[in-house]
Amino acid sequence: MTTGTKHYRMYIDGEWVDTADGPFQMVDPATGQVFATAARGRTEHADLAVAAAKRAHERGEWRGKSPEERAEVMSAIVAKLSERMDELVELHIKENGVTIRQAMAFHVGYSISHLQYFADLARSYAFERPGPQLSYPTLATGVVRREPIGVVAGIVPWNFPLLLAVWKLGPALAAGNCIVLKPDEKTPLTLLALAEAAHEAGLPPGVLNVVTGEGEEVGARLAAHPDVRKIAFTGSTVVGREISRLAADNVKRVTLELGGKGANIVLADADLDTAVDGALFACMLYSGQACESGTRLLLPEALHDDFVARLIERAKTMKIGDPAEFDTDLGPVVSAEQRERILGYIELGQKEGATLAYSGPAPEGPGFWVGPTIFTGVRPDMRIAQEEIFGPVLCVIPYGSVDEAVAIANDSEYGLSAGVWSEDVEAAIEVAGRLESGTVWINDWHMVSVEYPFGGVKQSGLGRELGPHSLDEYTEEKFVHIDLSRRLDRRVYDLVLPPVADQIKENV
């Protein structure tokens, strides 16, 4: 353990658990320095957490509460998180290099408000609804119930750890489930702070567990574990496919929010100043480390040169540097590995024949920095136009007609996000309807509302998070038939095979 750094333990069954193995080192992306360590969870810790969650579910202490009672505890967690907002913002900056403005708004602010949304949703969600009264084939009625699945596992990536954990924890708890969360080993600290808040708010032991471990070991075990009845995963498409394979062995419910290669279409009548700012915002927010980023910019041929010139001039005004300063626009990327991946794609783009139109300066010295990068002359079939780079790299692709733009946008294995910029909203809506994407923004980007569903099509995922129906993904539907005639109605005999009907007659 590094001297002078704080050590964080896992949270299992209401207790803080450590391991004898060498801990994970938390590295500040802005300095490259270790600032904390975290317990290195193993397969046995995943098993312990699942067993704790299963016991808690079977005890019924959480699922047995009324939705209003669950909402009260969840609101108490919200209050605890709100009290620690400054600490959470600091942890986000230290863990993954996000700028302070983004940490306050997207990472922490959204997390707190979204968890409150799910608490409120617990109060309004239709956990039970009566069915119609039937007169044939027998006098009967029924009740449709939505019941908790049981043990849920949430696997969370490094880019938005707290927010994406809340997207899984919120509906899971609101529906009465118990959950095991596995953060990325590079960014577990905000989830452990979430566990502290839940513990202080009185969430029963075993209902929430946080296991810090590597995906290949702990994540794979959760995906394959026979007592886990649902996996909610956010991450790369490659890992998502493996999660699906592992989950299939015991027919788990699966929600997958995977990669993206967002196509951002500027129509000929767009307001250029707004669209230029929007194109940079779509791609460069959080240094491009968001799966729904708009990384393919599609421009009409007639606007191309003017738009690119404006784009470069605007990009030159962006400040890259210390993420703790309020005027910083771009911080570092999350790790040395991620930096090398992005730089490799920048080199690849030039080898493929694209033009490096702008390569923004990056700070010298320690830390993991990549300046804003703009490619022009990009063909739709180039790897930089097809593969998810996950960095501040914008690929500009010209098009001749709107039909061509739509075809280019849809020529991707991904379908998470897209955007259209136009002064004619009706025309933009028409284009949006033709795009193969789970979300399409018109004259905006990155505005994810908790009240609307979020997820992808094609290789960008399965299922949806957020919105009023989000609890559907965390409940099983059960129909309870109630016979009102108090006897088996003899009219059913006509509906069954004669030998079975005869047997029924003998027993009635």
Q: SS3 of 140, please?
A: strand
Cβ atoms 301, 400 nearer than 8 A = yes
Least confident of 130-134, 183-187, 459-463: 130-134
| Domain CATH for 162 | 3.40.605.10
Cβ atoms 154, 474 nearer than 8 A = no
Q: What range does the domain containing 145 cover? A: 6-257+469-476
Backbone angles phi, psi at 81, to 5 degrees: -65, -40
Q: Tell me what pLDDT residue 139 has.
A: 84
**How many residues are recorded in the chain?**
508
- Which residue in 8, 11, 12 sits closest to 23, CA to CA? 8
Looking at residues 354-365, what average pLDDT do you find?
95
Q: Do 339 and 223 sit in the same domain of this protein?
A: no
- Could you tell me if residue 499 is inside a domain? no
Cβ atoms 171, 74 nearer than 8 A = no
Q: Do 195 and 238 sit in the same domain of this protein?
A: yes
Q: Do 329 and 221 sit in the same domain of this protein?
A: no
Q: Give the number of other Cβ atoms within 10 Å of residue 487's Cβ.
A: 9
Q: Do 240 and 347 sit in the same domain of this protein?
A: no
Both structure tokens of 232: 């909610």
- What does the CA dihedral 250, 256, 258, 260 come to, rounded to 10 degrees? 140
Q: Tell me what pLDDT residue 485 has.
A: 78
Q: Residue 489: which pLDDT band, with cuts at 50, 70 and 90?
A: low
Q: Give the number of other Cβ atoms within 10 Å of residue 167's Cβ.
A: 28
Name the active-site residue from 95, 257, 388, 436: 257
pLDDT tens digit sequence for 123-139? 999 999 988 888 777 78
Q: Do 81 and 224 sit in the same domain of this protein?
A: yes
20 vs 491, higher pLDDT: 20
* Rounded (to 5) percent helix, strand, coil in the chain: 40, 20, 35
- Which residue in 358, 350, 353, 432 sits closest to 394, CA to CA? 358
| Domain CATH for 409 | 3.40.309.10
Q: Do 226 and 287 sit in the same domain of this protein?
A: no
Instruction: Please list, in sequence order, all residues whose beta carbon lies within 8 angstroms of the beta carbon of residue 472, skipping any fewer than 6 positions away.
Output: 146
Q: Check if 364 is active-site.
A: no
67: preceding bond cis by omega (within 30 degrees): no
Cβ atoms 165, 156 nearer than 8 A = yes
- Could you tell me if residue 67 is inside a domain? yes
Q: Check if 283 is active-site.
A: no
Instruction: Please list, in sequence order, all residues whose beta carbon lies within 8 angstroms of the beta carbon of residue 353, skipping any fewer than 6 positions away.
Output: 377, 379, 382
Instruction: Please list, in sequence order, all residues whose beta carbon lies within 8 angstroms of the beta carbon of residue 434, skipping any fewer than 6 positions away.
Output: 406, 410
Q: SS3 of 320, please?
A: strand
Q: Do 252 and 288 sit in the same domain of this protein?
A: no
On the question of pLDDT at 3 being above 80, the answer is no
Q: Tell me what pLDDT residue 211 has.
A: 98
Q: Which amino acid type is present at position 162?
A: L
Q: Residue 502: which pLDDT band, with cuts at 50, 70 and 90?
A: low
Instruction: Tell me the CA distances in angstroms from 322 to 289, 360, 362, 377, one per residue in order.
Output: 17, 16, 11, 32
- Could you tell me if residue 31 is inside a domain? yes
Q: Do 246 and 303 sit in the same domain of this protein?
A: no
- Could you tell me if residue 247 is inside a domain? yes
Name the active-site residue from 283, 291, 395, 473: 291
On the question of pLDDT at 1 being above 50, the answer is no
Backbone angles phi, psi at 406, to 5 degrees: -65, -40
Q: Do 217 and 128 sit in the same domain of this protein?
A: yes
Q: Do 278 and 419 sit in the same domain of this protein?
A: yes
On the question of pLDDT at 59 being above 50, the answer is yes
- Could you tell me if residue 222 is inside a domain? yes
- What pTM did the predictor assign? 0.94
Overall domain count for the chain: 2
Q: Do 241 and 99 sit in the same domain of this protein?
A: yes
Q: Tell me what pLDDT residue 494 has.
A: 52
Q: Do 218 and 152 sit in the same domain of this protein?
A: yes
Backbone angles phi, psi at 146, to 5 degrees: -115, 115
pLDDT tens digit sequence for 249-276? 999 999 999 999 999 999 999 999 999 9
- Which residue in 311, 366, 310, 369 sits closest to 338, CA to CA? 369
Name the DSSP letter for residue 470: G
- Could you tell me if residue 491 is inside a domain? no
- Could you tell me if residue 413 is inside a domain? yes
* Sheet with 33-38, edge to edge strand ranges: 6-8, 33-38, 24-28
Cβ atoms 411, 389 nearer than 8 A = no
* Sheet with 253-257, edge to edge strand ranges: 15-17, 10-12, 208-210, 178-182, 151-155, 230-234, 253-257, 461-462
Both structure tokens of 366: 């320690």
Task: Give the whole-angstrom CA distance, residue 34 versus residue 16.
Answer: 22
- Could you tell me if residue 180 is inside a domain? yes
